[in-house]
């Protein structure tokens, strides 16, 4: 059986509708999965026109099995309210409504995994998003009980993080044994679900030169190293803390599978420099496989037919792998 994957076209004002059209008309996509497209006709047709990639909008059956590419229609935004390359409340509201529909379809078992084209957080907050980001909205909507954190992946290299969307001045205080264990276990579980049988994990230090024996900070001595040693004693394949300016050389050389970082940009900058057009974000901690390209809505090129589908295709491929290996 092929995976049943849901697809959302993302923010109507950004490059998401174009990327959706490019993905759905890419070679091999419909051989890899059955796809339920979730979105407004006007948004999807806009993407087809932008990409020059038409496809049929075949309504999904009201009941029973479905296969191939079918469309679950939503009506969330009026044509006159779509303003390309501009963050708007209307686009944010469309995203939230479409996302909630997709989450309902996951809960109902209609789809097994979800891929969404880029959202714009500012637009979503204009529309009333009550959480810091879409991951925590999804976690609340689905009643998730696990630790929530985004993971990023590129060509088999993965990162997780102990802290995410918080001010840099608050990072050190947020690094505790509990949070570190949760981030590491989330990385290990997610890699297993993507098909890595025994993930090799490295933990990045917080401070320059891994604290230089306490000269540049003691988080490595007080929290990070003892936690890593405790998990290693439990037979996890883990090492660290490693200086963050060299640890990504290990993952690039395929010596390890994942790096657990201490804050958002510590891992994001490294992976995006290694392959911005192929990076993927996995929504970690929710009870279904959900992925998205790691880049944003790219208002600077929205509507110009120039969007690169590479990261969206990678997000689709990872979602399919995760459905096959989910347990």
Tokens of 1: 């059986």
**pLDDT over 90 (residue 73):** yes
Percent of the chain with pLDDT over 70: 100
Secondary structure (3-state) at 252: helix
Tell me how far apart the alpha carbons of residues 309 and 16 are, in angstroms, rounded to a whole number. Answer: 10
pLDDT per position as a tens digit, 151-195: 999 988 999 999 988 999 999 999 999 999 999 999 999 999 888
Q: Determine the average pLDDT of the residues in 130-137.
A: 95
Give the number of other Cβ atoms within 10 Å of residue 62's Cβ: 5
Cα–Cα–Cα angle for 154, 255, 231, rounded to 5 degrees: 95
Token representation of residue 285: 């901690």
Radius of gyration of the chain (CA): 20
Average pLDDT over residues 228-250: 95
Q: Check pLDDT > 80 for residue 327.
A: no
pLDDT tens-digit profile of 18-35?
A: 999 999 999 999 999 999
List the single range of 51-55, 126-130, 210-214, 270-274 with lowest mean pLDDT: 270-274
Structural domains for the chain: 1-144+286-327 (3.40.718.10), 148-284 (3.40.718.10)
- Say if CB 125 and CB 132 are below 8 A apart: no
Strand order in the sheet with 69-73: 69-73, 34-39, 4-8, 113-116, 290-293, 280-284, 149-154, 157-161, 258-261, 201-204, 238-242
- Identify the three-state secondary structure at position 259: strand
Mean pLDDT of 94-121: 98
Number of helices (H) and strands (E) in the chain: give both, helices first: 13, 11
| Residues 245-303 pLDDT 10s | 999 999 999 999 999 999 999 998 998 888 877 899 999 999 999 999 999 999 999 99
Instruction: Give strand ranges (E) for 74-168.
Output: 113-116, 149-154, 157-161
Main-chain dihedrals φ then ψ at residue 121, nearest 5 degrees: -65, -35
**Count of C-beta atoms within a 10 Å radius of residue 1:** 8
């Amino acid at each position: 059986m092929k995976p049943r994957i849901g697809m959302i076209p993302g923010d109507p004002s950004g490059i998401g509708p174009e990327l959706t059209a490019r993905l759905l008309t890419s070679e091999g996509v419909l051989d890899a999965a059955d796809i339920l497209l979730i979105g407004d006709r006007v948004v999807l047709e806009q993407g087809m026109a932008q990409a020059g990639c038409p496809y049929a909008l075949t309504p999904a059956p009201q009941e029973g099995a479905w296969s191939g590419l079918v469309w679950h229609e939503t009506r969330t935004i009026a044509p006159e309210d779509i303003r390309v390359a501009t963050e708007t409340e209307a686009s944010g509201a469309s995203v939230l409504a479409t996302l909630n529909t997709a989450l309902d379809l996951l809960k109902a078992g209609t789809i097994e995994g979800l891929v969404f084209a880029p959202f714009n957080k500012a637009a979503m907050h204009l529309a009333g998003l009550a959480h810091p980001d879409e991951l925590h909205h999804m976690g609340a909507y689905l009643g998730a009980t696990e630790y929530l954190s985004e993971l990023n992946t590129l060509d088999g290299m993965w990162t997780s993080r102990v802290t995410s969307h918080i001010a840099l001045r608050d990072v050190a205080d947020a690094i505790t044994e509990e949070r570190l264990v949760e981030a590491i276990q989330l990385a290990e579980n997610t890699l297993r679900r993507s098909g890595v049988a025994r993930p090799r994990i490295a933990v990045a230090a917080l401070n320059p030169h891994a604290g230089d024996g306490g000269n540049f900070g003691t988080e490595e001595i007080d929290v990070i190293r003892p936690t890593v040693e405790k998990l290693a004693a439990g037979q996890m394949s883990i090492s660290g803390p490693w200086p963050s300016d060299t640890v990504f050389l290990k993952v690039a050389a395929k010596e390890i599978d994942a790096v657990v970082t201490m804050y958002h940009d510590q891992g994001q900058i490294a992976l995006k420099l290694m392959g911005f057009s192929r990076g993927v974000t996995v929504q970690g901690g929710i009870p279904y496989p959900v992925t998205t390209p790691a880049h944003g809505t790219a208002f600077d090129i929205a509507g110009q037919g120039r969007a690169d589908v590479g990261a969206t295709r990678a997000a689709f491929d990872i979602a399919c792998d995760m459905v096959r290996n989910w347990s």
